[in-house]
């Protein structure tokens, strides 16, 4: 016998399923793992359970197998339960990652605070030195290098503090269309200097959402600036946004696409890790901060490549469910 859920997963009616060997139902999960369990089970009185991920669909399954004694002989029949636990495993992974990121954020914020005062002191001494020896041109090449390095450390310190900053829930009802338009305007000088065109392709009228305006503005500006930096001369960076449905709820999806070299496959799993950067002079914190901010808003930040070439960064914002919207 089989229930409706099994028919849906297999993609066949009950009369087509009943009588078949589990191994013949499909070469994909969960049936592949279920067939292995049936083949190897040794203790009929104890259930056997395993979890398996289907790499084709991205789903994670919990498989439980019981052998039952229905007609007096051991193992006459088996009860197989396959449960889609994708949402649960993703939530557990997200919680583990959040704990790690929270701990790391506290550490880096503490380091940044310790560095700030000495850095300010070094900068002040350099100011005094330049004033005292302004007529000594032989010192300028050294002071210029020091000034550049102090600037780099200052940027790193500010990003460390931003990464470690706790989420205070300072939320306002905001139009994403307006925020995207403003972020594009902020990035226009950088685009013009790099001879890159920015295209605002937000066509839909999007619902307003509750977000931290300041922190989300930084996310969009960072993503657009990254796209500009990785674009060739005469390249185009396109910003799109629309409403989508996924996982039994609605989202606003914003995509920032460029025509650069794209992201290498081996770099995709590490792209949001703190201090990971392939760009000369980059701190490796921009995307880590952006992902942390999106997760604090219950959203997602995804990285990938366009079929036609170039990178694509996708920011997804959850819209309230009907139950939440009603009360």
pLDDT per residue as tens digits for the range 304-316: 999 889 999 999 9
Structure-token pair, residue 69: 């004694």
What pLDDT is stored for residue 223 in this prediction?
96
Tell me the C-alpha distance between 287 and 267, whole Å.
13
With a threshold of 0.85, does the pTM exceed it?
Answer: no
Confidence at residue 1, expressed as pLDDT on a 0 to 100 scale: 58
Give 271-326 pLDDT, tens digit per residue: 988 778 877 767 788 898 899 889 888 899 999 999 889 999 999 999 876 534 44
Same domain, 107 and 27: no
Chain centroid, CA 141 distance in Å: 42
Low-confidence ranges of the chain (pLDDT < 50): 323-327
pLDDT score, position 324: 45
**Domain ends where: 84, 102, 124?**
84
Q: Quick one: pLDDT at residue 32?
A: 78
- Pick from 297, 70, 307, 285: which is nearest to 179 by CA? 297
Q: Which residues contact 142 (CB under 8 A, 6 or more apart)?
A: none
Query: Which structural domain range is residue 101 located in?
Result: 86-166
Q: How far is the C-alpha of 291 from the C-alpha of 170, rounded, in Å?
A: 18
Within this chain, do residues 250 and 315 fall inside the same structural domain, yes or no? yes
Distance of alpha carbon 183 from alpha carbon 326, whole angstroms: 32
Total domain count, the chain: 3
Counted residue by residue, the chain has a size of: 327
Distance (Å, rounded) from C-alpha 167 to C-alpha 293?
A: 8
Q: What pLDDT was estimated at residue 61?
A: 84
User: How do the residues of the chain divide into helix, strand and coil, expressed in percent and rounded to 5?
Assistant: 50, 20, 30
Residues 38 and 95 in one domain: no
Q: 80: part of which helix (H) or strand (E)?
A: strand 77-84
Same domain? For 162 and 175 the reply is no
């Amino acid at each position: 016998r089989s229930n409706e859920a099994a028919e849906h997963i297999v993609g066949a009616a009950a009369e087509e399923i009943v009588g078949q060997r589990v191994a013949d139902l499909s070469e994909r999960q969960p049936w592949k793992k279920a067939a292995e369990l049936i083949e190897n089970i040794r203790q009929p009185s104890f259930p056997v359970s395993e979890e398996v991920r289907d790499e084709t669909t991205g789903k994670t399954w919990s498989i439980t197998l019981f052998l039952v004694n229905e007609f007096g002989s051991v193992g006459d029949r088996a009860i197989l339960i396959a449960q889609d636990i994708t949402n649960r495993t993703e939530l557990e992974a997200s919680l583990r990652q959040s704990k790690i990121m929270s701990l790391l954020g506290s550490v880096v914020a503490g380091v940044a605070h310790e560095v700030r005062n000495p850095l300010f002191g070094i900068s002040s001494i350099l100011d005094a030195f330049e004033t005292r020896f302004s007529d000594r041109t032989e010192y300028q090449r050294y002071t210029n290098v020091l000034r550049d390095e102090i600037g780099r450390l200052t940027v790193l310190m500010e990003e460390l503090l931003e990464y470690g900053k706790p989420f205070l829930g300072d939320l306002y009802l905001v139009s994403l269309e307006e925020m995207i338009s403003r972020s594009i305007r902020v990035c226009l000088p950088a685009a013009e200097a790099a001879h890159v065109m920015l295209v605002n392709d937000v066509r839909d009228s999007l619902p307003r959402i509750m977000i931290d305006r300041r922190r989300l503005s930084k996310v969009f500006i960072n993503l657009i600036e990254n796209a500009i930096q990785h674009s060739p001369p005469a390249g185009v960076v396109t910003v799109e946004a629309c409403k989508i449905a996924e996982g039994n709820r609605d989202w606003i999806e914003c995509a920032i696409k460029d025509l650069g070299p794209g992201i290498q496959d081996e770099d995709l799993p590490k792209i949001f890790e703190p201090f990971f950067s392939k760009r000369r002079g980059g701190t490796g914190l921009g995307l880590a901060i952006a992902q942390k901010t999106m997760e604090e808003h219950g959203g997602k930040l995804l990285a990938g490549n366009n079929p036609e070439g170039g990178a694509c960064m996708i920011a997804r914002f959850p819209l309230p469910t009907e139950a939440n919207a009603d009360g």
